[in-house]
């Protein structure tokens, strides 16, 4: 998959205005047709037979018995004790590593092995020193310094890479043969923002010359370059990337056995925590009964947990992961109801019921919608109760507003399909960044991240709408690139590619290239928002990880709707197979 399409101007996509505080409601910019609220409509006439569509989703491939039988030997306290011993050793190693380039390599190694959350204080101290230190770096270290400092929010410019250009403004010939330096430069270029042309040049230059060196590299470096070409490191789901890099690092001759043991042990301990989450969720999902009562929808509990784990994999975010998995599971059923099963009259009725948010409205809904409405209503109240209990803050107005916006976005798409209307790309994306579920997921994540919720933090959150917008847009574009063909075959609203084709008359290949360009541009915007955001870093990382997880899930097609291939293999790797120590 080629992610290096020249990014076109992004003026066609309207960036939402910042949140506006009106009492305690979040208002995302959107243009909705107001719903009537003065009367409650009765059920659509059920005597008339409604032609129901089917997406023919395959049944769940993970039965409750399989999920609830997951076991791990790493629940024993002796493994936790060993982990603490190894952490002490690594902290000593970090402290005695003083040469700037060596510090950079150690911080990068710790992060890529998935154990950075244990050493945040030590890594920051090390990067603080590197930031102020004046040192001569080779290309590999210079690119690594830029990538790590920008990733951690330091103000750095890519001007350093001009030092590797000649008088004519071209990259010097001698670095064309530096495979390690070129790979480091290539990965650093994906931390770029707008008006940083040197990074755009670096991306093209490094990619071109790495391709030319493929035949002369050793096998391990070749694998790393191919891996980077598939999806750059900055765009990858951290947990899955950690598993990959543990395997890579184990093959290195000059590896640290202490670091490797810690990475493997930590992976297995966190995996046992994820198994515990899944068992709890399996019992909840079985008792909820949506899969049995509404068989037209996707039954994808474990796959939905991949979303939550991708957003926040660290063990301390268990409560957040469980809640996001519940959210995505309920959202998936509602999405399928709007996309596939419900008639337009029924969907308008459901949307109005969510808009009024009155439990009495369940009586006017069709039978199959009642259980879905109650599941949503009870879930929102559960989150509200927990947040009020833990933080003394009533978040129900925020939660309600996001579910209302989501259902209205779904209804817009249902009307488009019913009327045979193909929106412009502008129209589609203006609705699609909401209908992909990113805003509703991130609002819940914000209240579940574990940080205290105060008026000041809520104000900051409202100023962070662009952060969520760009992550949600990447999620939408990734979704469309992965699912467009399958969804068009089953009969669905045109996706971004089809909107572009209809609007401009270009080929499928050209439209797909344009969408990839939009996504590359959106990543630059997201990089900018991550750097300027004043929101808690844990939450900024979650928003960034949502975009990364979308890239992962839709890398090889529809990783949720059709989850028997790559998705299944990844689930086994992540949740079922401990790493041999």
CATH of the domain at 215: 1.50.10.130
Does pLDDT of 9 surpass 70? no
CA pair distance 372, 304, nearest whole angstrom: 17
Q: Which long-range contacts (CB under 8 A, 24 or more apart) does 175-180 make?
A: 175/139, 176/209, 176/212, 177/213, 178/138, 178/139, 178/140, 179/210, 179/213, 179/217, 179/221, 179/225, 180/140, 180/221
Does pLDDT of 456 surpass 90? no
Looking at the structure, do residues 508 and 405 belong to the same domain, yes or no? yes
In this prediction, residues 524-540 reach a mean pLDDT of: 94
Q: What pLDDT, on the 0 to 100 scale, is given for residue 562?
A: 84
Instruction: Place 22 in a pLDDT band, splitting at 50, 70 and 90.
Output: very low
Looking at the structure, do residues 220 and 346 belong to the same domain, yes or no? no
Range of the domain at 210: 97-255
CATH number at residue 326: 1.10.600.10
In this prediction, residues 508-531 reach a mean pLDDT of: 97
Q: Residue 88: inside a domain, yes or no?
A: no
Does pLDDT of 463 surpass 80? no
CA pair distance 340, 281, nearest whole angstrom: 26
Q: What pLDDT, on the 0 to 100 scale, is given for residue 449?
A: 87
Q: How far is CA 400 from CA 17, 359, 440, in A?
A: 20, 13, 9
Does pLDDT of 504 surpass 90? yes
Looking at the structure, do residues 286 and 421 belong to the same domain, yes or no? yes
Q: What pLDDT, on the 0 to 100 scale, is given for residue 239?
A: 97
Looking at the structure, do residues 419 and 552 belong to the same domain, yes or no? yes
Q: Residue 86: inside a domain, yes or no?
A: no
Return mean pLDDT, the chain: 89
Sign, CA dihedral 159-165-171-177, equals negative
Q: What pLDDT, on the 0 to 100 scale, is given for residue 36?
A: 36
Share of the chain above pLDDT 90, in %: 79
What is the per-residue pLDDT across 143-166, written as a single tens digit (0 to 9) for each?
Answer: 999 999 999 999 999 999 999 999
Instruction: Place 10 in a pLDDT band, splitting at 50, 70 and 90.
Output: very low
pTM above 0.85, yes or no: yes
What is the per-residue pLDDT across 104-147, written as a single tens digit (0 to 9) for each?
Answer: 999 999 999 999 999 999 999 999 999 998 888 999 999 999 99
Residue 211: phi and psi, rounded to 5, are: -60, -40
Looking at the structure, do residues 505 and 542 belong to the same domain, yes or no? yes
Q: Residue 44: inside a domain, yes or no?
A: no
Among residues 399, 301, 411, the alpha carbon closest in space to that of 351 is found at 411
Q: Residue 5: inside a domain, yes or no?
A: no
Q: What pLDDT, on the 0 to 100 scale, is given for residue 121?
A: 96
Does pLDDT of 242 surpass 50? yes
Looking at the structure, do residues 349 and 373 belong to the same domain, yes or no? yes
Q: Residue 250: inside a domain, yes or no?
A: yes
- Of 255, 283, 310, the last residue of a domain is 255
Q: Residue 411: inside a domain, yes or no?
A: yes
**Tokens at 84, concatenated:** 């603490």
Does pLDDT of 20 surpass 80? no
Looking at the structure, do residues 248 and 268 belong to the same domain, yes or no? no
Instruction: Place 43 in a pLDDT band, splitting at 50, 70 and 90.
Output: low
Q: What pLDDT, on the 0 to 100 scale, is given for residue 17?
A: 35
- Of 236, 255, 274, the last residue of a domain is 255
Q: What share of the chain is helix, strand, coil (3-state, %, to 5)?
A: 70, 0, 30
What is the per-residue pLDDT across 67-111, written as a single tens digit (0 to 9) for each?
Answer: 999 999 999 999 999 999 999 999 999 999 999 999 999 999 999
In this prediction, residues 178-189 reach a mean pLDDT of: 98
Looking at the structure, do residues 323 and 399 belong to the same domain, yes or no? yes
**Tokens at 433, concatenated:** 């960044």
Q: Residue 58: inside a domain, yes or no?
A: no
In this prediction, residues 487-494 reach a mean pLDDT of: 65
Looking at the structure, do residues 489 and 341 belong to the same domain, yes or no? yes
Looking at the structure, do residues 197 and 334 belong to the same domain, yes or no? no
Instruction: Place 486 in a pLDDT band, splitting at 50, 70 and 90.
Output: low
In this prediction, residues 209-233 reach a mean pLDDT of: 95
Q: Which residues of 282-305 are buried (b: 16+ CB within 10 A; e: fewer)?
A: beebeebebbeebebbbbbbbbbb
Say if CB 513 and CB 53 are below 8 A apart.
no
Does pLDDT of 4 surpass 80? no
CA pair distance 400, 391, nearest whole angstrom: 18
- Of 214, 229, 255, the last residue of a domain is 255
Q: What pLDDT, on the 0 to 100 scale, is given for residue 5?
A: 31
Looking at the structure, do residues 364 and 384 belong to the same domain, yes or no? yes
Q: What pLDDT, on the 0 to 100 scale, is given for residue 48?
A: 57
Number of domains observed in the structure of the chain: 2
Q: Residue 321: inside a domain, yes or no?
A: yes
CA pair distance 540, 548, nearest whole angstrom: 13
Looking at the structure, do residues 116 and 149 belong to the same domain, yes or no? yes
């Amino acid at each position: 998959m080629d992610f290096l399409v020249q990014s076109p101007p992004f003026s066609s996509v309207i960036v939402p205005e910042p949140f506006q505080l009106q009492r305690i409601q979040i208002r995302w910019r959107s243009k909705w047709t107001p719903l009537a609220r003065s009367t409650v409509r009765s059920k659509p006439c059920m005597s008339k037979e409604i032609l129901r569509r089917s997406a023919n989703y395959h049944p769940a491939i993970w039965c409750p018995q399989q999920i609830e039988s997951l076991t791990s030997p790493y629940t024993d306290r002796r493994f936790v004790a060993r982990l603490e011993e190894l952490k002490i050793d690594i902290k000593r190693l970090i402290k005695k590593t003083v040469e700037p380039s060596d510090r950079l390599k150690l911080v990068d190694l710790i992060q890529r092995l998935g154990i950075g959350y244990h050493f945040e204080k030590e890594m920051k101290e090390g990067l603080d020193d590197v930031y102020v230190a004046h040192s001569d770096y080779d290309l590999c270290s210079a690119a690594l310094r830029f990538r790590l400092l920008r990733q951690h929010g330091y103000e750095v410019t890519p001007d350093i890479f001009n030092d590797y250009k000649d008088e004519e403004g071209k990259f010097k010939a001698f670095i064309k043969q530096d495979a390690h330096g070129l790979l480091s430069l290539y990965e650093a270029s994906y931390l770029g923002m707008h008006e940083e042309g040197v990074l755009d040049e670096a991306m093209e230059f490094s990619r071109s010359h790495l391709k030319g060196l493929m035949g002369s590299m050793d096998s391990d470096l070749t694998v790393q370059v191919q891996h980077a070409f598939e999806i750059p490191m900055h765009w990858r789901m951290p947990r899955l990337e950690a598993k990959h890099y543990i395997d890579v690092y184990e093959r290195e001759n000059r590896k640290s056995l202490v670091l490797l043991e810690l990475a493997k042990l930590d992976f297995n301990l966190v995996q046992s925590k994820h198994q515990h989450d899944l068992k709890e969720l399996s019992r909840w999902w079985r008792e909820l009964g949506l899969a049995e009562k509404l068989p037209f929808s996707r039954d994808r509990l474990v796959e939905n947990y991949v979303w939550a784990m991708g957003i926040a994999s660290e063990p301390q975010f268990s409560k957040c992961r469980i809640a996001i998995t519940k959210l995505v599971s309920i959202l998936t059923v509602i999405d399928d109801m709007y996309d596939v099963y419900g008639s337009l009259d029924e969907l308008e009725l459901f949307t109005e019921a969510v808009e009024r948010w009155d439990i009495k409205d369940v009586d006017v809904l069709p039978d199959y919608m009642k259980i879905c409405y109650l599941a949503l209503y009870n879930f929102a109240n559960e989150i509200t109760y927990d947040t009020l209990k833990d933080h003394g803050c009533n978040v129900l107005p925020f939660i309600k507003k996001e579910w209302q916006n989501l259902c209205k976005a779904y209804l817009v798409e249902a009307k488009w399909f019913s009327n045979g209307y193909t929106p412009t790309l502008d129209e589609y994306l203006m609705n699609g960044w909401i209908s992909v579920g990113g805003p509703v997921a991130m609002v819940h994540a914000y209240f579940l991240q574990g940080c205290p919720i105060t008026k000041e933090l809520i104000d900051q959150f409202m100023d962070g709408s662009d952060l969520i917008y760009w992550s949600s847009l990447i999620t939408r574009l990734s979704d469309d690139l992965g699912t467009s063909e399958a969804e068009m075959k089953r009969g669905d609203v045109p996706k971004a590619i089809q909107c572009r084709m209809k609007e401009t008359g270009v080929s499928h290949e050209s439209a797909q290239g344009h969408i990839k360009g939009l996504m590359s541009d959106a990543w630059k915007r997201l990089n900018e928002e991550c750097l300027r955001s004043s929101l808690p870093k844990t939450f900024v990382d979650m928003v960034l990880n949502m975009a990364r997880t979308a890239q992962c899930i839709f890398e090889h097609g529809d990783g949720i709707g059709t989850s028997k291939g790559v998705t299944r293999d990844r689930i086994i790797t992540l949740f079922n197979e401990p790493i041999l120590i």
